[in-house]
Structure 1
Amino acid sequence: MKKTSLIMVAAAILILGTIISPGTVRAKAIEEEITVTPVRTITPEEESIISSSAVKVLRHIAQARADIHAKDLKHAGGELKQALTLLDIIKAALPADKVKDHIWVAKKHLSYENTEEVVPDMIPIYASLDEIEDIVPVSKAREHINKARKNLKRGNKKGATEELELADESLIYAEVDLPLDYTRKHIAGAQAFLAKNDPEKADEALNTAEDGVRFVAVDIYSPVTQARKSLLKASRDYTAGKLTAVKKDLKEAKISLKKATKTVDAKTRTGVKKLLKAIEAVEGKVDKGAKETGRDIKGVYEQAKALTLKAVDMFHTSR
């Protein structure tokens, strides 16, 4: 069983390496302005890997709990190690992790290079932020990166470092990151209890850990999450002048939201209905091709993003 699980882990790593591609970047006069081209949303393939890996984590946790009840604590420990390995794979599939890596590189360069030499490090950071805007709130991170770049140009190494650190911290509130951190924390707690030969508390910790990874496995395919993705695509298609595609995107968003009204709680349902009305209001403006309509579509997308993030907040605060 262990050998099979390790093979699955290795296969997942290979798959991840083939589907996560770098963003396309256009830089005009690095010293003056950095411009990036939005590249993509999280792909269906990545969704599948995140969700299926989360389910495998659940299996390892369930097996560990079964081992605990069978008093096979050694095997339970092995299952938890494999669960943590899979959590690392899920995290590696998230573009947010790439942004953090780029920020880390910039901070490291600042420790031994002058500020002007670090300015080019901002390019991949901006590009990576564009990649993750559909699953992570990035406005605060962008503000800090903008300030970091200004400090770099002014030769303010300390100020740039502080802003980079703040940017890094602002990227932790994602639909997947938060539940995964929650899960990892409780798996680590279970490992500690096993080390102390306290299987009862280890089992309790794992029971709690299951909630976080179950949230990841299910929420990534939730109707509200899918509607948000359609609205992001609508915003980008409108910017590109693809009006027929925009209409299709908005229609798909409405279909997802109508499904959501049948499954979400009462409070979320109110938000979903408001979102449906907002989409209907903007649908009739698409053919005009006005800039205001583009802003309206982006606004509707922001509403959808806020709605999905509320689900994360509800999960986190209820724990």
Structure 2
Amino acid sequence: MRRTTLIATGMAAALLVASPIAWRAYADGAPRLAEKTEAKGDPLAYDLSKVSKEGLTAMRSVYMARVALNDGDYDAAKQNLKAASDALGQVRMDNPSVDVKEDVKVGDKVVSTTKEHVQVDLVPISSQYRIVEDFSANPEKSEHIAKAHEHLKKGDTQAAISELKLVDTGVVFERIDMPLTATKQHVDTAIGLLNDGKYHDANLALKAAADGLQYHTISMVAPVKAPNPSSKS
């Protein structure tokens, strides 16, 4: 499991734009998917919403397979592993790819250009924001937070940030990413071990899949106001 914590000011927009998908966090042991939302008018955001849902479904199946293994219910473990494998396969099919262009320059002159079609391996499966300071609710603040939540549900992180910057309090944005290739390898390994009757080893392979999730935390802290020179201490 890898955790990244960043502290930023209200200018953290550039950091957050990389995660255009927002799902509500899950509170209990098994991941719980929020209501399905579609980002209208943005094909890329819609594709990411779809793979985000599929990725979260896969990780929930991994969790349920581990529970079944611990309970000795190996048939249920196999069913959940198949569901996880199917969901990961669907993620690979639906996961959007991007064109990466690289220019090599000598001085100000471009001497060569390379283009590569790359499929993004990290899939955002969950994200949320939360208030971290004492928060005195009032109609104006509540309205900004409600609007930010709606923007996040639609995948419009930039608009959500703009709303949250208007709220005079600290806000933390948290995101969980799933490495697609590594997770698929761990699930495939677990399936093989389970079929061979190596239940403990299969559970360890699934633990590795869960430990491979990457947790990112970005703190959006309101700038500290300069003291008034005319004020007396």
Fold shared by both chains (TM-score > 0.5)? no
Higher helix share: 1
Identify, as 1 or 2, the structure richer in strand.
2
Q: TM-score range by the shorter chain?
A: 0.3 to 0.5
Kindly indicate whether structure 1 or structure 2 has the higher relative contact order, using CA contacts under 8 Å at least 6 residues apart: 2
Q: Report the TM-score when normalising by structure 2.
A: 0.43
TM-score normalised according to structure 1 size: 0.33
